[in-house]
């Protein structure tokens, strides 16, 4: 199936989804809108829904997960060393917000300093590709089930990825080590998929679906036999058949082969055969899998849980919890610039090096997005 056929299939399923909008996603960074973090009622760790909350249901009988949601926040996969616990109280969470580097950058970048709103360009002299006007990572730690979280990982309690020696070796090679081929300058296929604007960089499409600098929005649409998750960056559509069988192992899409089913009011999704060139934050061997769970926690949040299973790379099954917060906006097209001009410039630089007889040694991460 070619890309056009895949796109048409996604549109057809989306149109069939009950109560779904067919509008595409737009980044908060593009609109200037900010995702609200609601102070939800604190819950016990075992709670999957807020106290007394009953999820609305669609006409087809399923709990309603539909709509636009965001995981934008200053929380990331692993816990920074400065935090000793998974959960912070309100005062400590506010202190973390004030001292977060991205928030400081928002307040001090040159786009905040000029009376007429015009940039003076001083930020870019330091070598940054973007100033803070173009990013929207979120302004608070994640609020998951009413508690401020310092990491998405909840198990192991350390908030760190439990690598085996093989897993640590793969991770230490860096994203550039396993997402690219050759020198990185000879042809487009040597560049990472995120950089080529095929999938979102940083694992936005997952699984698991992680937050990055911007474009952290997701639109969920439901039908009787399918769930579709439209990932804002890079406009990927995860088409998840319900109560189905996995496809042959020879098929390994960028975001993997996903099937789903309902366990009570929780949507469970199992994904295998994830293509490593998809650029997710979690590496897996061909025997690995990801389990995701979606539960409507309240009117303003979907609890998104994930489990990583891979005995070769990880010493245990490890788990995370993410809060997907309601966004009262549409999601529009994500248009990727790097795949147009940036990629051409990289390859042209390689040809210039060839003409001059200089060798090129790639350094750093090739999947900057």
pTM: 0.81
Euclidean distance between CA atoms 321 and 63, whole angstroms: 19
Q: Does the structure show a pLDDT above 50 at 42? A: no
Q: Provide the percentage of residues in the chain whose pLDDT is more than 70.
A: 75
- The pLDDT value given to residue 183: 77
Cα 99 to Cα 92, 113, 139, 140, distances in angstroms: 11, 20, 11, 10
- The pLDDT value given to residue 368: 42
Extract the tokens encoding 127: 């070598």
Among 210-224, 230-244, 323-337, the range scoring the smallest mean pLDDT is: 323-337
Q: Does the structure show a pLDDT above 70 at 131? A: no
Element (H, E) at 229: strand 226-231
Euclidean distance between CA atoms 25 and 229, whole angstroms: 11
pLDDT band, residue 23 (cuts 50/70/90): very low
Among 67-81, 168-182, 303-317, the range scoring the smallest mean pLDDT is: 168-182
- The pLDDT value given to residue 29: 37
Euclidean distance between CA atoms 191 and 286, whole angstroms: 22
pLDDT 10s digits, 308-336:
999 999 999 999 999 999 999 988 888 87
- The pLDDT value given to residue 24: 29
Q: Can you tell me the mean pLDDT for 176-205?
A: 78
DSSP for 203-221 reads GSS-SS----SS--EEEEE
- The pLDDT value given to residue 61: 96
pLDDT 10s digits, 351-366:
999 999 887 765 434 4
Query: Over 275-339, what HEC string results?
Result: CHHHCCCCCCCCCCEEEEEEEEEECCEEEEEEEEECCCCECCCEEEEEEEEECCCCCCCCCCCHH
Euclidean distance between CA atoms 283 and 267, whole angstroms: 23
Q: Does the structure show a pLDDT above 80 at 34? A: no
Euclidean distance between CA atoms 183 and 190, whole angstroms: 7
Cα 360 to Cα 30, 41, 198, 345, distances in angstroms: 35, 55, 25, 14
């Amino acid at each position: 199936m070619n890309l056009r056929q895949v796109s048409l299939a996604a549109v057809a399923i989306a149109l069939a989804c009950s109560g779904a909008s067919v509008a595409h996603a737009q980044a908060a960074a593009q609109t200037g809108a900010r995702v609200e973090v609601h102070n939800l009622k604190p819950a016990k760790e075992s709670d999957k829904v807020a106290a007394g909350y009953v999820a609305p249901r669609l006409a087809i009988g399923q709990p309603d997960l539909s709509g636009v949601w965001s995981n934008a926040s200053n929380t990331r996969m692993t816990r920074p060393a400065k935090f000793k616990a998974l959960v912070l109280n309100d005062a400590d969470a506010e202190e973390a917000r004030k001292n977060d580097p991205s928030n400081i950058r928002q307040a001090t970048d040159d786009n905040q300093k000029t009376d007429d709103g015009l940039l003076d360009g001083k930020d870019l002299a330091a070598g940054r590709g973007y100033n803070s006007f173009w990013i929207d990572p979120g302004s608070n730690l994640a609020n998951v089930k009413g508690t401020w979280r310092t990491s998405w990982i909840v198990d192991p309690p350390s908030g760190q990825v439990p690598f085996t020696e093989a897993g640590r070796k793969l991770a230490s090679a860096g994203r550039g080590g396993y997402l690219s081929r050759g020198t990185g300058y000879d042809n487009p296929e040597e560049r990472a998929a995120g950089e080529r604007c095929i999938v979102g960089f940083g694992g936005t499409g997952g699984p698991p679906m992680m937050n990055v600098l911007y474009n952290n929005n997701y639109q969920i649409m439901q039908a009787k036999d399918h769930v579709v998750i439209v990932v804002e960056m890079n406009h990927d559509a995860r088409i998840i058949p319900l109560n189905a069988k996995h496809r042959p192992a020879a098929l390994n899409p960028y975001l993997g082969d996903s099937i789903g089913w309902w366990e009570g009011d929780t949507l469970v999704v199992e994904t295998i055969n994830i293509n490593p060139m998809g650029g997710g934050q979690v590496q897996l061997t061909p025997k690995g899998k990801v389990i995701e769970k979606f539960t409507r926690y309240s009117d303003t949040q979907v609890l998104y849980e994930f489990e990583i299973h891979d005995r070769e790379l990880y010493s245990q099954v490890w788990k995370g919890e993410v809060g997907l917060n309601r966004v009262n906006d549409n999601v529009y097209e994500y248009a990727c610039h790097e795949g147009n001009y940036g990629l051409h410039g990289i390859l042209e630089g390689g040809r210039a090096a060839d003409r001059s007889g200089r060798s090129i040694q790639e350094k750093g991460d090739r999947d900057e997005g």
